[in-house]
Chains A and B, each alone.
Chain A
Amino acid sequence: MNAIWHICQFELTRLFLTKRGAILLLAFAVIWLIIFRYPVLAAANSLSNNTFGDNLAAFSQSMNLQHLIEWNYGELAIYWLFAVFAFPITAVLMSSDQLASDANRGTLRFILLRCSRHQLLLGRFLGQLFILASLITMTLFAAFAMGMSRDASLATSALDELFFVGINLFIIGMPYIAVTSLLNIILKSSKLSIVMIIIVVPIFHSIVSYLSTIIAPLEILLLALPGIGLIDAAQMPALELSQTTILPVLQTVAYLAAAQFLLTRRAL
């Protein structure tokens, strides 16, 4: 366990103590600043406006998002809608180089004299999970603070929503990190791993979706793809143990098992 923890800690320093990590963090901060400053703030104000709020309620109902109107903090509701799609991409970008560069450079050879491949894989995965959790926490509390600055009296009752959003974002991001681990081992390239997840996976999703209208059993293939339940997650009214929550966890376990299988057999 110690080795896993040391590797995990090193991953955290990779983001917070390197130039590349600092640039990624800066980009992340700027993007979220823009999101908070414009869409979140504007939408939250609209939600609190009774006249406009009625129109928005009708629109939300058509999108199956009517439960968001009922949240204590509109800021959190709008944040959730952005974050549910933004954090999977963030997770992929942040974790895109879990093993590839180190394998190509030979750095893994130094590390593997001191720990097993299993410990390396798990340590780096956990490190990326911590990074994801810290990014979610920072932005989530920023959204919560925006809500509090508008109406502090609702803070206690909004804690449920805070918890719901945090846990769900974390669960949704997990399979993306795990599939990046797997693709790093298969493709030996961080850039190819990003391309594969952001471009190839959606294309594959579209093709399988189309084919499954002709051959229905093919739909099961979609379960192997990360992000298959993102829209369902956005529409989920509360934290619950449904397919939307369990599937990402199962996908994470499956991707990590496949990564472990390949890594123990791969020449490094």
Chain B
Amino acid sequence: MSTLISCQGINKLYGSKQALNNVTFELEQGTTTALVGPNGAGKTTLFSILCNYHLPSSGQVSILGHKPGSNALFGQVGALPQDAQLDPRFAIKHQLELYAKLQGFSKKQASIECQRVLDIVDLSQTLNERPGALSHGMRKRVSIAQALIGEPKLIMLDEPTAGLDPANAKNIRQLVMDLSGQVDFVISSHNLDELEKLCDTVLLLKQGQLSQQKVGQVSSDMSRSMTLLLEGNQDNAQAIIEQLSSVSSVEALNKQEFILHYNATQSPNFDIELLQALAQHNLNYRQLTKGLSLEQQLFS
């Protein structure tokens, strides 16, 4: 498998403030990667360096074997930059066609491509509208459409669902899921539930430093823990779960949610045993997840 993105010793200084501190990581092709971290951690800075909007103060960046901004990457990398907007004075069709033509499409092909990407985000009826005539959510989807022009190999999305209503956010998530496998994604977001569904690799930035590169779903720790979410407050639930012989410990996150650590060798079918025990004691559950949630993995 070849390298999708390689960052070696990236530093970025804004005056005396160090936004990125010796960030080093490598991503392979065929991955969907989450870029997470608190506000001001350097996510957008790293995103901007990958897109060649900012230059690193030092360090080496390579995308698909080329420097960001190289001619070879035009059309290979799509992006949804945070807060970037289309020109309000021109129709969407006019602008998307320009982008397609810049990627090498002929006038006729550009028109077809423009229609195709707007169809994907379910906005083909807005072709001749100006961006100002669209809602925030629709403008975001049009911006995502521009990232799809020319079927790039890598698409970077900075806060793709921020400010969207649940239905539109779900559509965007579905779109990413549908395209996964054909396209590699790097997604920066604060929505960990969303990232957990979409991504198999996580880059965690804290104060400009990359503190964790990969959270696999089958790590040894995860194979020995489960996250259980019950319906309503059920006071005796923890005691009942602790009675199971293979359970080594139960950690109550709140009155409804528990992390269970168990001996997988002793109970290879622990999930079935657990569900049977819950049924016997009339405990209704809402969700049972293998391993820890992304939030638990990153921030507990």
Are A and B a genuine interacting pair, yes or no?
A: yes
- Residue in contact with A114 in the complex, picked from B83, B89, B102, B143, CB distance below 8 Å: B102
- Residue in contact with B81 in the complex, picked from A19, A106, A267, CB distance below 8 Å: A106
B69 & A110 in contact (Cβ 8 Å cutoff) = no
Docked Cα-Cα span, A33 to B15, in Å, equals 53
- Residue in contact with A107 in the complex, picked from B51, B53, B85, B103, CB distance below 8 Å: B85
> Is A153 an interface position by the 8 A CB rule?
no
Contacts of A109 in B (CB 8 A): 51, 53, 79, 81, 84
Contacts of A18 in B (CB 8 A): 89-90
A20 & B48 in contact (Cβ 8 Å cutoff) = no
Q: Contacts A113-B51, A113-B74, A268-B53 hold; do A102 and B102 have CB atoms under 8 A apart?
A: no
Which stretch of B93-101, B121-129, B170-178, B278-286 is in the interface? B93-101
Contacts of B83 in A (CB 8 A): 106
B85 & A116 in contact (Cβ 8 Å cutoff) = no
Chain A: minimal CB distance from B251 (Å)? 44
Which residues of B, 82-133, contact A by the 8 Å Cβ criterion?
A: 83-87, 89-90, 94-95, 98-99, 101-104
Contacts of B48 in A (CB 8 A): 267
The contact string, 1 if C-beta is below 8 Å from chain B, for chain A 1-40, is: 0110011001001100111100000000000000000000
> Is B300 an interface position by the 8 A CB rule?
no
Q: Contacts A14-B89, A105-B87 hold; do A114 and B53 have CB atoms under 8 A apart?
A: no
> Is B71 an interface position by the 8 A CB rule?
yes
- Residue in contact with A102 in the complex, picked from B52, B71, B87, CB distance below 8 Å: B87
Chain A: minimal CB distance from B162 (Å)? 14
Which B residue's beta carbon lies closest to that of A101? B87
Chain B: minimal CB distance from A239 (Å)? 37
> Is B136 an interface position by the 8 A CB rule?
no
Which A residue's beta carbon lies closest to that of B96? A110
> Is A111 an interface position by the 8 A CB rule?
yes
A105 & B84 in contact (Cβ 8 Å cutoff) = yes
Contacts of A112 in B (CB 8 A): 51-53, 69
Docked Cα-Cα span, A169 to B12, in Å, equals 46
Which residue of A109, A115, A117, A267 has the most chain B CB atoms within 10 A of its CB atom? A109
B51 & A110 in contact (Cβ 8 Å cutoff) = no
The contact string, 1 if C-beta is below 8 Å from chain A, for chain B 66-83, is: 000101001101110101
A19 & B89 in contact (Cβ 8 Å cutoff) = yes
Docked Cα-Cα span, A116 to B71, in Å, equals 7
Interface of A is mostly: helix
B53 & A265 in contact (Cβ 8 Å cutoff) = no
Contacts of A10 in B (CB 8 A): 98
Interface size on B, residues (CB 8 A): 31
> Is B146 an interface position by the 8 A CB rule?
yes
> Is B214 an interface position by the 8 A CB rule?
no
Contacts of B71 in A (CB 8 A): 116
Interface of B is mostly: loop
B102 & A111 in contact (Cβ 8 Å cutoff) = yes
> Is B164 an interface position by the 8 A CB rule?
no
Which A residue's beta carbon lies closest to that of B156? A113
A116 & B81 in contact (Cβ 8 Å cutoff) = no
Which B residue's beta carbon lies closest to that of A19? B89
Chain A: minimal CB distance from B180 (Å)? 21
Which residue of A18, A105, A112, A113 has the most chain B CB atoms within 10 A of its CB atom? A113
Which B residue's beta carbon lies closest to that of A120? B102
Which residue of A13, A17, A268 has the most chain B CB atoms within 10 A of its CB atom? A268
A114 & B75 in contact (Cβ 8 Å cutoff) = yes
Chain A: minimal CB distance from B69 (Å)? 7
Contacts of A6 in B (CB 8 A): 98, 101-102
Contacts of A114 in B (CB 8 A): 74-75, 99, 102-103
Docked Cα-Cα span, A44 to B19, in Å, equals 66
Which residues of A, 227-266, contact B by the 8 Å Cβ criterion?
A: 265
Contacts of B78 in A (CB 8 A): 113
Which A residue's beta carbon lies closest to that of B149? A114
A115 & B53 in contact (Cβ 8 Å cutoff) = no
Contacts of A102 in B (CB 8 A): 87
Q: Contacts A106-B84, A116-B71 hold; do A111 and B94 have CB atoms under 8 A apart?
A: no
B79 & A115 in contact (Cβ 8 Å cutoff) = no
- Residue in contact with A116 in the complex, picked from B69, B75, B84, B143, CB distance below 8 Å: B69
> Is B55 an interface position by the 8 A CB rule?
yes
Other contacts beyond A6-B98, A113-B99, A114-B74: 10, CB < 8 A = A3-B102, A6-B101, A13-B90, A13-B94, A18-B90, A107-B87, A114-B103, A116-B71, A117-B69, A265-B55
Cβ contacts A to B, 21 pairs, < 8 Å: A2-B104, A6-B102, A7-B98, A10-B98, A13-B90, A13-B94, A20-B89, A106-B84, A106-B85, A109-B51, A109-B81, A110-B84, A110-B86, A110-B99, A111-B99, A112-B52, A113-B99, A114-B74, A115-B102, A267-B55, A268-B54
**Top 7 A-B pairs, shortest CB-CB distance:** A106-B84, A114-B102, A109-B81, A109-B84, A267-B54, A18-B89, A6-B101
